Amino acid sequence: QVQLVESGGGLVQPGESLRLSCGFSGRIFNIYVMAWYRQAPGKQREMVARISNEGNTNYVDSVRGRFTISRDNVKKTVYLQMNSLKPEDTAVYYCYANYLRDYWGQGTQVTVTS
């Protein structure tokens, strides 16, 4: 049984930074593909960043160069470092894991406003 627990969301001003964390409970974390998705009000959920079990990363164009996804296989944690935040980054951010099936966290709210 896999459980994902996000933390690190909050309210920030444009240009500031946040780091999201996702704790993974379950066995053999390092075989899972991990990702962060987000869903803004009235919009579809979109993939923000993805990291493979080998550490290869992908980003949606709107965050490339500002966000960095990383993983710590010892701590069983995936991170999303978000810099130069913009109001359009406001959304609920979800942690995602995949190995044979999908797993989702409960989400953490990120609000960027002046």
**Residue 96 β-bridge partners:** 35, 104
Kindly indicate the confidence band of residue 17, based on its pLDDT and cuts at 50, 70 and 90: very high
53/19 Cα distance (integer angstroms)? 21
Mean pLDDT score of the chain: 96
| CA triple 46-75-85, angle to 5 deg | 40
- Percent of the chain predicted with pLDDT > 70: 100
Using one digit for the tens of pLDDT, what is the confidence trace for 51-85? 999 999 999 999 999 999 999 999 999 999 999 99
How buried is 88 (Cβ within 10 angstroms: 0-12 exposed, 13-18 middle, 19+ buried)? exposed
pLDDT value at residue 97: 97
Is the predicted pLDDT of residue 1 greater than 90, yes or no?
Answer: no
